[in-house]
Structure 1
């Protein structure tokens, strides 16, 4: 360490009062000129690598279009890297956005009032940033070079497009200003490039508030440090390195791998008042090296000596301001031995420029160059794969097409045979269903009286109550007959339908590809098929009119109706014969009461003849009736006639007294059974036909769905055959394009290798 200080002191007398800057060279104070600035290397490398990545981006766009065409046409199988190419496109786009940054970034950190702003002002050779005693900088200040502007201005985060006067920086950024910005706010100071060599070479300086005034260090790191190329820790030579400063750079080191860090022991001009300056410098140097090498591990011991500098930013700023104005530095402004401190500051700038140039080229370009090589290499492999696939599949497409054509022909023939067979099966089953339902329904109609007798609702002859009674009876008969027919037929018919459906599914699914067979089987609805019989007794018996009035069974009219029939008795009583043919209506309107008695039998022909004669005589005149009565009385005798009349009267009274509600209910149900039975017999054929139609519809729909899947499979095969024809014609074109893209990937890889040889290896040297 003492040797290092001695060398600095030996060089100090050779220096003048400062260093002069020009656009490409620097004066070192003894007449020697430094070589061209190493910062120019960054601009050249940036332009070259941006051009290369522009070619890569255009290449990826062309490859993506090429692959999209292949995927849309489907002429090659195994092209499954569309997303990979899109990922390459996004990756290169991100790289180009990063490469598009037009600066090398250096960030200054340190505790409050350590002189960060003064250091930046000295390096810029202009008093741009506010500085002074105490807490001065309230937020982050970024100094960058303007493009064409000759005037400096400010840009703030809340109004990024509004240019503000450079004079307002004290109001916005000074800690003593009434305008308080957040500590993580950023003010951009756009300074004319022509006024500062460093800004002209695309260097950006970022000044920060003191790291001891806010706990939001993580926010600072995320917002301002992740893209920094060099960090400068400005420490106060009057105190040792504080834990606050160490903690901050430990956090930075965790987020960035080995950041480039310089430590400036500022205000070293106060060392003139120390008795043992060397011991103090040695102490600072050891602690700084321990922090850089042992704690952070960002450098080794040898390089660490070139990362710690003992300077006075105030003296450097004063000297350079007066030198640029061409005026001598005021007496008493600089302390004794200032030449060594000015040289140390210039030495820091030289090391800083070398470091930031190498670091920026390496950190910004080396990793992206490797990523670019990886992208071009992967793209070449993909294009080579496409080329080989086109060669291989061109030989197999014809065989595949022939196989699919044979498969399609087989399916069409089998489907034709199965269609004929299934139609015959459905026809036979429909006829069987119609027969079974007809037999079951006729049997239930014969047992209709049992169903009616099961109806046990209270009966009353009142018309209002009787209407409700008939409504409930209709519903009872409808449910009873439907339930009985369903119990006899549904289970059997359902089983037959399910067996037939399963057979059709099995036969037709055999024509489907293996990968879709189970899917089609599962897609056939597994619903419970139920036959709806739809008897609807309420509509059928809506015209039913009951006759529950008392009728003596041995009256003259009843006897006539019993032996002659209702029609014959009516003709006999009314005195005319209905012999004229009358048109028959579609719906018989004969009252129900006319259907209750059986027709006359042959055994009653004699009685019928007598009654006919008797009725004929009595219907003529009253005198005739008296004559007939006299003859009968004379023949049989008065006593016999009296006894007969008494028995006849007793029989009448018996029937009249036994004509109760129960008897009326029996008569009502008997009439209802006769009427409903006659109506239900009329719809037996219609109901059985309807049930068979339901079975036919169920089986036909199932077969149609299965045929649809087979047809879809056939259509798919036809489309695949057409697609294969199209692919075969496209394979040669794809092969030629893939070869061109493969060769272009080789050319881009060579360009990246050339960039690495020319720039990255030189920066290492």
Structure 2
């Protein structure tokens, strides 16, 4: 009894310690510590699963947009972690405290389980009763049912006797199979606190103990050896637990000496038998199995009567007294010892289950978080490094773009001035050269040697050919004088443009541009279009005597017209009788005016007026007046001599008016007409040629500008692309930093869990 009191005091101290584990709520049972630990570790791993899932999703998104930040192994590790954590979460959800009852046949294993449940749930009786493994656990739905191994069908819990009773001739299960018996949690404190009780067949009914251990005992937190107090520990029982001890590191083993109520029949040997059982059981636990110390062994060995406890609890459930019924002497002591076993068992299984179930998961969680933090730190550093590289690239692109834009403005202004100067120079050269060629037009026309005929049809064809010849000849002469120099200047200007602009292009585009400089040489087109220009030319090929009165009059009139006009204007302006101007302009009156007949010199203007009058009237009267005037003035001999000479000249010229003479006269008239027309288009032609040069140079420069603009556009696109990658890298940095912070929080939660439940 003294040992019993000491164990009770030790249990009370341990209970005080367990109650201080939680600061959130008062814990009245060690089993509740496991429940709280399970709840907390589940919540932590739910957070870890959410964390890993979020990390997987975010990292995949970052990897899709920026593949260089995350390598394949890191991404694969994160995905593997997600599946691993899901598996741990599923295991944690199913995890419960598990106690396995073993012993020889008819030692009362099922009765002990029933006593702990407080009801007759499992089949029990004399002889070999249980023929398979029976696992009793709490029902989530609150109903009682059972499920056989490999099936999800719910069966009536009463059929457990039919399925698991060894005396049933129609048994369907063997000793290796497991039946899950679900019992309402509100009918048993153990089940409510997530404890599973596993009943087994007798260890002496099968040699396949290794299979039992591997299939049903490897995850047990506490083993209860139910021995028969009327005998001693058997080799079979010891061998089984030796095998358990070889597979598990220091398993928690309780030894129940059942049927201790038989000692009431021999009270004189009670203490000696108890001492004998204690010594042998202690030696077995301490010396043979080495699973505990001698002090700990005293709290692992109990003397009970499971049948009495079951009967008392069934009676109590019915509302009767615990002592009702046929009970042996000393029942109260045995009942209290059974309760002490339950308290010790609860304390042990709670501590053991927390370590066996959650220690490994906690360590796995910490290793997983550590690896995740390492991956996130690597991604963060790599993102930062690439982010800095992208910033430098953007800076270089911006500097290059600014340089390109500024250089383009400077080169554009320079090229505009150069093109303007060259255009002016071309205009001057073309104008001068064309003027020189116009002055030499007679030489060009004289070289035209197509057969000439005065017939109108032939003459029209002759004029068309002459137009083409003159246009071609002038163009050839201008090209011969200007094209080489112009082409050279233009080519040099284009090369200078290419050289300056190619410096603004990327190396690969610059090489392509300089590698393909072949192009048609530029040539100025001189668009004279003589056919349209001289379309209004009308030749006059009728014979005209060079000493005819009209010809002479034209010559004299052209010589004296300006001086006569000036003198008349002076007299008109200075004469007070300007109103008599109409009379002074009459040639007949002036011709017979006596004041103007003194000399021939004074009458030259008068003669010209008379000639004009006579020619103007084209009548005989004019000729008679002129003849009379000349006869009176110079005499008839001189007139006859002059008339003879005049006639000979006329005859000579008339005979000389051949086709060749007509051709010369035609060419002379054409040269005179074409010269006047060509001089009208000198400025237009030179402007047209300068415009061609301007267009050629401007086109070349525009093409080069377009290449530079494309290069600038490419730089802008590259900057946008880099900016997009920079945003992705910034997001990657933020994501990795955020995940690192979350990982630190989870790491702290796991440490707190260890400090609270595992230390």
TM range (shorter): 0.5 to 0.7
Indicate the residue corresponding to 2:3 in structure 1. 4
Cα gap change, 1:172 to 1:382, in 2 (>3 Å): same
Shift of 1:79: 6.5
What do the CA deviations read for 1:60-118 (whole angstroms, capped 9, x no partner)?
11111222233333132657412222232233222211210263211111111110011
Q: CA RMSD in A?
A: 3.7
Cα gap change, 1:78 to 1:325, in 2 (>3 Å): closer
In 2, distance between residues paired with 1:9 and 1:758? Answer: 25
Q: Given the alignment of the two structures, is residue 747 of structure 1 paired with residue 740 of structure 2, yes or no?
A: no
In 2, distance between residues paired with 1:722 and 1:10? Answer: 77
Shift of 1:759: 3.5
Q: 2:385 aligns with which of 367, 388, 392?
A: 392
Q: 1:336 aligns with which of 322, 329, 339?
A: 329
In 2, distance between residues paired with 1:247 and 1:412? Answer: 90
Indicate the residue corresponding to 1:66 in structure 2. 58
In 1, distance between residues paired with 2:36 and 2:311? Answer: 34
In 2, distance between residues paired with 1:49 and 1:287? Answer: 40
Indicate the residue corresponding to 1:309 in structure 2. 302
Shift of 1:198: 1.8
TM-score, normalisation: structure 1 = 0.52
In 2, distance between residues paired with 1:203 and 1:753? Answer: 26
* Ranges in structure 2 where 5+ consecutive residues have no aligned partner: 11-18, 20-25, 398-505, 516-717
Indicate the residue corresponding to 1:604 in structure 2. none
Indicate the residue corresponding to 2:730 in structure 1. 732
In 2, distance between residues paired with 1:327 and 1:390? Answer: 75
In 1, distance between residues paired with 2:322 and 2:54? Answer: 64
What do the CA deviations read for 1:368-400 (whole angstroms, capped 9, x no partner)?
223222222221222121111122223445889
SS at match of 1:263: strand
In 1, distance between residues paired with 2:128 and 2:118? Answer: 22
SS at match of 1:758: helix
In 2, distance between residues paired with 1:411 and 1:225? Answer: 77
Q: Given the alignment of the two structures, is residue 127 of structure 1 paired with residue 126 of structure 2, yes or no?
A: no
Q: Is the 8 A contact 2:312 2:323 kept in 1?
A: no
Q: 2:274 aligns with which of 269, 272, 281?
A: 281
Q: Is the 8 A contact 2:315 2:324 kept in 1?
A: no
How many residues align? The count is: 436
Indicate the residue corresponding to 1:325 in structure 2. 318
SS at match of 2:94: coil
Matches within 5 A, 1:370-409: 370-396=363-389
Shift of 1:330: 7.8
Q: Is the 8 A contact 1:113 1:135 kept in 2?
A: yes
Shift of 1:5: 6.6
In 1, distance between residues paired with 2:180 and 2:725? Answer: 58
Indicate the residue corresponding to 1:269 in structure 2. 261
Indicate the residue corresponding to 1:148 in structure 2. 141
SS at match of 1:39: helix
SS at match of 2:299: helix
Cα gap change, 1:752 to 1:66, in 2 (>3 Å): same
Q: Is the 8 A contact 1:8 1:340 kept in 2?
A: no
Indicate the residue corresponding to 1:199 in structure 2. 191
- Greater C-alpha radius of gyration: 2
Q: 2:161 aligns with which of 145, 162, 170?
A: 170
Indicate the residue corresponding to 1:466 in structure 2. none
Q: Given the alignment of the two structures, is residue 37 of structure 1 paired with residue 36 of structure 2, yes or no?
A: no
Q: Is the 8 A contact 2:70 2:379 kept in 1?
A: no
Shift of 1:57: 0.6
Shift of 1:409: 6.4
Q: 1:253 aligns with which of 245, 250, 254?
A: 245
Indicate the residue corresponding to 2:229 in structure 1. 237
Shift of 1:155: 1.7
- Of 730-739 and 300-309, deviating more is 730-739
Q: 2:170 aligns with which of 179, 188, 205?
A: 179
In 1, distance between residues paired with 2:377 and 2:357? Answer: 31
Cα gap change, 1:387 to 1:9, in 2 (>3 Å): closer
What do the CA deviations read for 1:633-676 (whole angstroms, capped 9, x no partner)?
xxxxxxxxxxxxxxxxxxxxxxxxxxxxxxxxxxxxxxxxxxxx
Cα gap change, 1:154 to 1:332, in 2 (>3 Å): closer
Q: Is the 8 A contact 1:74 1:723 kept in 2?
A: no
Q: Is the 8 A contact 2:117 2:188 kept in 1?
A: yes
In 2, distance between residues paired with 1:4 and 1:411? Answer: 99
Shift of 1:215: 1.8
SS at match of 2:298: helix
- Of 209-218 and 114-123, deviating more is 209-218
Q: Given the alignment of the two structures, is residue 221 of structure 1 paired with residue 219 of structure 2, yes or no?
A: no
In 1, distance between residues paired with 2:244 and 2:309? Answer: 29
In 2, distance between residues paired with 1:750 and 1:5? Answer: 42
SS at match of 2:30: coil
Q: Is the 8 A contact 1:240 1:284 kept in 2?
A: yes
Cα gap change, 1:399 to 1:278, in 2 (>3 Å): same
* Ranges in structure 1 where 5+ consecutive residues have no aligned partner: 12-24, 26-33, 418-719
SS at match of 1:755: helix
In 1, distance between residues paired with 2:368 and 2:145? Answer: 42
Q: Is the 8 A contact 2:62 2:728 kept in 1?
A: no
Cα gap change, 1:260 to 1:68, in 2 (>3 Å): same
What do the CA deviations read for 1:41-64 (whole angstroms, capped 9, x no partner)?
222222222112111111111111
Q: Is the 8 A contact 1:141 1:186 kept in 2?
A: yes
In 1, distance between residues paired with 2:215 and 2:33? Answer: 27
